[in-house]
Amino acid sequence: MQDIAEQLQAWHASGRSFAVATVVGVSGSAPRDPGAALAVDSAGEAIGSVSGGCVEGAVYELCQEAIATGEPVLERFGYSDEDAFAVGLTCGGILDVFIQPITPGADAALDAGITYIASGTPVALARVIEGPTGLLGATVAVTADSHHGSLSPAPSTTGALERAAVAEARAMLDAGRTGKVVLGLDGRPCTPSDSEEGSDQATITFFVESYVPAPRMLVFGAIDFAAAVVKIGKFLGYRVTVCDARPVFATERRFPDADEVVVDWPHRYLDSQLDSLDGRSVLCVLTHDAKFDIPLLERALRLPVGYVGAMGSRKTHLDRNARLREVGLTDAEIARLRSPIGLDLGARTPEETAVSVAAEIVANRRGGSCLPLSAGQGPIHHDLARADEPAEAKPHAA
């Protein structure tokens, strides 16, 4: 929902009713991740996407129906071997979509959540997508120190259930995670199998969406290759900073696509940014100059960031590793360094090199093998194997 938050806020501010269809479960080779959303307003305008085109028409109609009835619905889409022309995913995956109507002013949690998302304030929305009819669509909006909304009216166990839902949502917000949470009516954690049809345990399934600021990409070294890395970093959704100690090179004119350009010694700037870095953060060290690289990497390789890559030749790499050992880094810490940076694509130009770097970042984040898809037979989406994946889901072979 984050990518369509600005338009949702505009609809909400104008008092216009709308429905949001959110991907809440995927398996096999489904085209979008959980959290992807399509929204339709009362005038029929649509924004966003849940499937890249496969089921958009059917979801659009369900959104219009939800606006008219005011009732949320959970719908599953999957490829049908019996009817190849049925609405579904031709890629062979399964997509669960939750459609929820929203009327501005009618739900405190959704009102607060949309405002928080549009303003960039970290927030998690925990919505009931499976459970008793009276609770379907019930939502709580959770920030680091407060929450909005309520699961009432509901059974007498609602207090414990709500406290547990808030606690789970806050933990997922802290980790920047989106996914399902299954709780008993008394708030106790349950496994996904407890909610399966035929189970004798009463459970509530929440879909928790964490909305956090864009992950950061720090590019050190204001060289020509950096401009291309900045551009592709923005394309991937990062908030990109360029840092270099040389003011003649670190200028906004040379890096118009960067969110910010900083003139400072790289290691000193990194020390000032520790509170804003997390496991999603990416550091690209392109200076290949030991007086900049070593103090910077000495710190970077000890931080819990997602990726640290450094540019340089094989000879530079070996010399850099030796210097890092001299300043006290362990072999395990040095092993975190992706150097020379990027995948072997045969890249030569700055733009080709940026594609190489971006490919390695994506593979590192998603668990990709870096092999051609045509060389394998397994699932093409490495991060889609989840505990709640339906047993009948069939992997899509490349």
Residue 200 has pLDDT above 80, yes or no: no
Q: Which of 94, 50, 49, 103 is nearest to 76 (CA)?
A: 94
Per residue in 1-29, pLDDT (tens digit) is 777 888 999 999 999 999 999 999 988 66
| 15, amino acid identity | G
| Cα 134 from chain centroid (whole Å) | 30
Residues 390, 192 contacting (CB under 8 angstroms): no
Number of other residues whose CB lies within 10 A of the CB of residue 100? 23
Q: Which of 40-49, 126-135, 250-259, 376-385 shows the lowest per-residue confidence on average (mean pLDDT)?
A: 376-385
3-state DSSP call for residue 74?
Answer: strand
Q: Which of 153, 179, 182, 177 is nearest to 165 (CA)?
A: 182
pTM of the model: 0.65
Domain range annotation of the chain: 2-211, 216-366
Band the pLDDT of 118: cuts 50, 70, 90. Answer: confident
Tokens of 201: 């345990």
Per residue in 255-309, pLDDT (tens digit) is 999 999 999 999 999 999 998 898 889 999 999 889 999 999 999 999 999 999 9
Kind of pairing between the strands at 37-41 and 18-27: antiparallel
Band the pLDDT of 199: cuts 50, 70, 90. Answer: low
C-alpha to C-alpha distances, 192 to 134, 197, 270, nearest whole angstrom = 21, 11, 41
> How many Å apart are CA 396 and CA 225, to the nearest integer?
36
| DSSP letter string, 1-26 | -GGGHHHHHHHHHTT--EEEEEEEEE
Task: Please state the rounded mean pLDDT for residues 29-58.
Answer: 86
> How many Å apart are CA 387 and CA 385, to the nearest integer?
7
Tokens of 286: 């392109």
Tokens of 363: 């593979």
- In the chain, DSSP finds a helix count (H) and a strand count (E) of 10, 16
Strand positions, DSSP E, the chain: 18-27, 37-41, 46-48, 73-78, 94-102, 123-130, 139-142, 147-148, 179-184, 203-211, 216-220, 239-244, 260-263, 282-285, 307-310, 337-338
Percent above pLDDT 90 for the chain: 62
Please work out, in degrees rounded to the nearest 5, the angle formed at the alpha carbon of residue 200 by the alpha carbons of 198 and 201: 120
* Superfamily of domain 216-366 in the CATH hierarchy: NAD(P)-binding Rossmann-like Domain (3.40.50.720)
What letter does residue 189 receive in the DSSP assignment?
B
| Exposed / middle / buried, residue 250 (Cβ in 10 Å: 0-12, 13-18, 19+) | buried
Sign of CA dihedral 64, 68, 70, 74: negative
Q: Which of 52-56, 362-366, 392-396 shows the lowest per-residue confidence on average (mean pLDDT)?
A: 392-396
Q: What mean pLDDT, rounded, does the chain reach?
A: 86
- Compute φ and ψ for 40, nearest 5 degrees: -130, 130
Tokens of 348: 């030569």
Task: Please state the rounded mean pLDDT for residues 330-357.
Answer: 95
Q: Which of 245, 138, 132 is nearest to 195 (CA)?
A: 132
| Cα 4 from chain centroid (whole Å) | 14
Please work out, in degrees rounded to the nearest 5, the angle formed at the alpha carbon of residue 280 by the alpha carbons of 301 and 30: 135
Instruction: Look at residue 389 in the predicted model and tell me its pLDDT.
Output: 35
